[in-house]
Amino acid sequence: MKPIKVGLLGLGTVGTGVVRIVEGHQEDLQRQTGAAIEIAKILVQDKSKARSIAVDPDKLTENPWDIVGDPDIDVIVEVMGGVSVAKDHILTALAGGKHIVTANKDLMALHGAEILAKAAEKSCDVLYEASVAGGIPIIRTLVEGFSSDRITKIMGIVNGTTNYILSKMSQEGAAYADVLKEAQQLGYAEADPTSDVEGLDAARKMTILATLGFHAPVALGDVGAKGISQISKEDIQYGKQLGYTVKLLGIAENNDGHISVSVQPTLVKNSHPLASVNGVFNAVYVYGEAVGETMFYGPGAGELPTATSVVADLVAVVRNLKLGINGRRVLAPYKEKKLKTDEQIAYKNFILLQVEDKAGVLAQITQIFARHEVSLESVVQHPDAGKPQAEIIIITHDANQASMKKVLDEFGTMDVIHAIKSVYRVEG
């Protein structure tokens, strides 16, 4: 089989890793695929920039058309990031019959359906394992490993930055702002951390996982996202006392075809496998009707872990080329998307209230829960030493979100409740 020519769009962190693996593992890759894999051209913004790897300068180009328009290029590996330019390049390449490997979660979450439809039309592969959870082969697991099962729940720690921050806050009792600053200095968080800390990055990944896991066309707009910037040391401390660890979880649920997907800070019971996933690691917990509980753990980002997934996809494309079956394995979502209403979304809640410390307050509060049919698992009251106020920590049983909203609305009108300090989902 003739050498497979790859055009690489982007030579940043992941692109550099792709070059290292393709060159360093060349012999193994040939044995795995039956073909040599050659990175023939690389799109960069500035050819003259100094780089951490030696690359033949003749392979570098600043003109994308040199790659996407080159009939000799078989496969495009897109690791440049961004949405609209990357999308243009990919659609152009598909129009020319090239196969695509991408690590671009933003692109796949927003325009995955359009790109996959174009690929099917042109009998091209589009693979995107690296777009979710870096080095963890979670897309293969959902599509191939659990093809026989009905997945009812996917819970993911799919953003390493926020998991690093929350792990540090928990281990060191540090405040959010301090840990964020440290993470920025270490390069674990970006100068503008919004996309990570507000849960937007995780929401894009959950869009991809929910679409694949539930076979329904989940859109980014369907995913409610709440981030970690409001989490206090106190929240983490109270969680610990009750046996929970605070994690930013993406949670996708499917009950009888009714779907909900969200990203939110969640108190995870310490016995749950997700609770002990610390630092920049990612993990995806998958519950299937038949298989039950499973979890997949690994590095969520980084040059070589992400490149491992990119090159595994490249291996798959080359194997498909050898068999002549490119574009034949894509399974489009075949189920109607029915989103759950607030009445259908039910889970346990952690609520931290600051209240007036006087007789009868607890009774008033518990009556409101009762009136809206929210039953309680535990209620703990802490007097605030020397002050006329107390803190009440409530954990509910599974409560639907419509009822919870009514409860919280009523709390907002009560003079004896000084503040609704925190409300979090509870899992495990």
396 annotated as ligand-binding = no
Q: Is residue 150 close enough to count as binding a second copy by CB under 8 A?
A: yes
Nearer to a second copy, 22 or 165 (CB): 22
Any residues with CB less than 8 A from the CB of 413 and at least 6 apart, and which? Answer: none
CA separation for the pair 137, 312 (Å, rounded): 9
- Which residue from 316, 321, 345, 365 is in contact with a second copy, where contact means CB under 8 A? 316
Nearer to a second copy, 296 or 340 (CB): 296
In the complex, least distance from residue 339 CB atom to a second copy, rounded to whole angstroms: 20
* Interaction pattern, residues 105-144, with a second copy; x per rule: CB under 8 A: ------------------------x-----xxx--xx--x
7 annotated as ligand-binding = no
Q: Is residue 344 close enough to count as binding a second copy by CB under 8 A?
A: no
205 flagged as catalytic: yes
- The pairing of strands 99-102 and 126-127 is parallel
In the complex, least distance from residue 132 CB atom to a second copy, rounded to whole angstroms: 13
190 annotated as ligand-binding = yes
- In sequence order, what DSSP letters do the residues of 183-200 get, joined into one string? HHHHTSS-SS-HHHHTTH
253 annotated as ligand-binding = no
CA separation for the pair 365, 4 (Å, rounded): 68
Nearer to a second copy, 139 or 353 (CB): 139
- Which residue from 45, 63, 241, 276 is in contact with a second copy, where contact means CB under 8 A? 276
Nearer to a second copy, 123 or 381 (CB): 123
249 annotated as ligand-binding = no
CA separation for the pair 331, 123 (Å, rounded): 13
302 annotated as ligand-binding = no
Residues in 202-261 at the binding interface with a second copy, rule: CB under 8 A: 215
- In sequence order, what DSSP letters do the residues of 31-95 get, joined into one string? HHHSS-EEEEEEE-S-TTS--SS---GGGEES-THHHHT-TT--EEEE-S--SHHHHHHHHHHHH
- Closest-CA residue to 153 (of 297, 291, 331, 337): 291
In the complex, least distance from residue 412 CB atom to a second copy, rounded to whole angstroms: 40
CA separation for the pair 304, 310 (Å, rounded): 10
Residue 78's beta-bridge partner residues? 9, 102
29 annotated as ligand-binding = no
CA separation for the pair 275, 170 (Å, rounded): 11
In the complex, least distance from residue 246 CB atom to a second copy, rounded to whole angstroms: 18
**Which range of residues in 47-55, 81-89, 117-125, 322-330 is near a second copy by CB under 8 A?**
322-330
Residue 45's beta-bridge partner residues? none
Which residue is catalytic, options 87, 98, 205, 226? 205
Nearer to a second copy, 69 or 302 (CB): 302
13 annotated as ligand-binding = yes
CA separation for the pair 119, 116 (Å, rounded): 5
- Segment holding 339, helix H or strand E: strand 338-339
Nearer to a second copy, 21 or 346 (CB): 21
- In sequence order, what DSSP letters do the residues of 228-290 get, joined into one string? STT--HHHHHHHHHTTEEEEEEEEEEEETTEEEEEEEEEEEETTSGGGG--TTEEEEEEEETT
- Which residue from 1, 186, 325, 419 is in contact with a second copy, where contact means CB under 8 A? 325
Please list the active-site residues.
205
Question: Which residues make up the interface to a second copy (CB under 8 A)?
Answer: 17, 20-21, 25, 28-29, 31-32, 129, 135-137, 140-141, 144-150, 215, 273, 276, 281, 288-299, 302, 304-305, 307-312, 314-316, 319, 323, 325, 328-329, 331, 334
Known binding positions for NADPH: 105
